[in-house]
Structure 1
Amino acid sequence: MLIKDEDVAIRAAQAGAGVVRAMYGTSLTRFGKSGGDFATAADIEAEEAILDVLRSTRPQDAVTGEESGRTGASAAERMWLVDPLCGTLNYAVRSMLVAVNVALRTGSTVSAAASADPFADEVFWTDGTRAYVRRDGLDEQIRPSAESALVDLNLDPPYQNAPRFRAARMLADPGFVERFRPRVVSTTLAVAWVAAGRRAAYVTDGDLRDSVHFASGIALCQAAGCVVTGIEGQPLHTGAGGLIVAADQQTHAALLAIIDNQISSAPSEERVGR
């Protein structure tokens, strides 16, 4: 019997989460990357566990892994995007704020995705139509809510639209402080939390097309009914890029006004390309 794509995504994310959970708190070898970034032995082993699931269930599909790169046919219609440990720095200093992300891009859309929280033992998942959280083997449909007023900001580079836009400058904006409460989790688990109503919104800069970090979270938010755009309110992956995921139109409009004010107040030479 053929396993559904969403079940493959869940199984793969759970396999990676099991490794992340088991290796937590151990002495981890670090492997340097460019820009001062690094992976740990847990990243490597978690990705291998995920790839084992994908190879056994979807051997014809292509895969892009955070650590292992791309494998499979270059023109493959189906591509799995794998981030085995989102929040490596958190994890390396024994903070449990991490996620394991697995998403399937079919053509130009993500048709199945899962983001696992290894320590809460939760998996947020979507079949491309609706979004759910699985706890103790039971699935519950999730819906966004702006009630918390918590907005997660990604302050990590790259800053694609700097200096005219920096997420960090939102922290000093009176309109932001008056309406929202900032959070900086430094893992895309916070994107899944927007879909689940645990965050009102999430904002980041950057080119996120086919991003192993963001594909799962974006798909969850879209399926849950969030407002999902680029940082200037444009269609996702166009123009200035970046990402705003908001629980509702009012939250999205408020954040867009704050961002627009920041961009508009930048010196004219910094607004080139707007």
Structure 2
Amino acid sequence: MQGSANINLMIKAARKAGRSLVKDFREVENLQVSMKGAGDFVSRADIAAEKIIRDELMSARPNYGWLGEESKPEEGADPTRRWIVDPLDGTTNFLHGLPHWAVSIALEHKGEIVAGVIFDAAKDELYWAEKGAGAWMNESRLRVSGRHRMIESIFATGLPFGGRGELPSVMRDLGRLLPVCAGVRRWGAAALDMAYVAAGRLDGYWERGINAWDMAAGVVIVREAGGFVQAIAKDGNMLEDGEVICANERIFETFSDTIRNG
């Protein structure tokens, strides 16, 4: 499918960064058994991928603002537009040699995400969407699942690690959700969780304590695939609050009530 100049630019940048990360990913298994380990190497790979994306996007759109995981935010000469970028979502998976990670690029216009690209380079799956133009994975149109019974549905979330403070809330969420659904998955890459909701592989996803760049591209992709996306707090702002819930339209109300009414 042919997209706008901006989405084509985003796809080009994501693919270029993805190729660089795939080369680095092949080295991780060898580094895992070294005394030093792979941590420093993966950090360099992450930063290098962001530089590739930044160079591609900002050279073509120098007036846009920038919000990236590995660099300082910048307000552009055009204050209504900014790129929101996670060069390597699923860093811990990458570090451990697990082929489940992605490049995520979003374009925000006047506070709304209007285009998004999520590139799973290890599997060569490119998810993308523009407002009003539908959502796609490679050349296939995406549509959220049609399941309408919670007991037949599977969901994804993130689990807090390293002493992060969201654990009590997540445990309460799981206590309410697990008895009424077909299962919960923890894949370790928020962008791909949202892409999988758009593709109908998952029926819903929620997470607390994440960053704008983790979810931004997924917001427009899920919406353009026919799903609902909101902040967990009904009057909240997803990107500012760092929390999101999404699902197909048939189960969103029941699912969101289950998570919110804790």
TM-score (norm 2): 0.82
Q: From the superposition, tell whether residues 162 and 179 of structure 1 become closer, same or farther in structure 2 (CA, over 3 Å).
A: closer
Return the offset for 1:162.
6.9
Whole-angstrom CA distance in 2 between matches of 1:197 and 1:228: 14
After TM superposition, give the deviation of residue 72 of structure 1 in Å. Answer: 4.8
Alpha-carbon separation, structure 1, partners of 2:238 and 2:75: 24
Question: AA paired with 2:81?
Answer: R
Please name the residue that 2:189 is paired with.
Answer: 187
Aligned to 1:155, which of 151, 159, 163? 159
In structure 2, what is the equivalent of residue 217 of structure 1?
Answer: 218
SS at match of 1:16: helix
1:253/1:134 Cα in 2 relative to 1: closer, same or farther (>3 Å)?
Answer: closer
- Correspondences of 1:5-84 after superposition (within 5 Å): 5-26=6-27, 27=31, 30=39, 40-73=43-76, 76-84=79-87
- Contiguous gaps of at least 5 residues in structure 1: 32-37, 264-274
**Unaligned runs of at least 5 residues, structure 2:** 32-36
What is residue 143 of structure 2 aligned with on the other side? Answer: 143
| TM-superposition CA deviations, 1:207-264 (whole Å, max 9, x none) | 75xx111100111112222111222444643997621101123x22222232244x2x
Aligned residues: 245
Structure 1 contact 87–97 (Cα < 8 Å) conserved? yes
Query: In the alignment, which of 111, 121, 133 is matched to residue 118 of structure 1?
Result: 121
Given that residues 154 and 181 in structure 2 are in contact (C-alpha distance below 8 angstroms), is that contact kept between their aligned partners in structure 1?
A: no
Does the C-alpha gap of structure 1 residues 168 and 100 become closer, same or farther in structure 2, counting only changes over 3 Å? Answer: farther
Give the match's secondary structure for 2:88. Answer: strand
Q: Deviation per CA, 1:14-38: give whole Å up to 9, x if none.
A: 112111111103137635xxxxxx9
Match of 2:255 in 1: 255
Q: Which moved more, 1:4-13 or 1:91-100?
A: 4-13
Q: CA RMSD in A?
A: 2.7
Residue 118 of structure 1, CA deviation: 0.8
Deviation string 1:96-138 (CA, Å, 9 cap, x unpaired) is 1111100111111112110000111111111122333343xxx
* 1:90 equivalent among 88, 93, 98: 93
Q: Determine the structure 2 residue equivalent to 1:244.
A: 245
- Counterpart residue type for residue 183 of structure 2: R
8 Å CA contact retained: 1:63, 1:80:
yes
For residue 109 of structure 1, what is the aligned residue in structure 2? 112
Cα distance, 1:55 vs. partner? 2.5
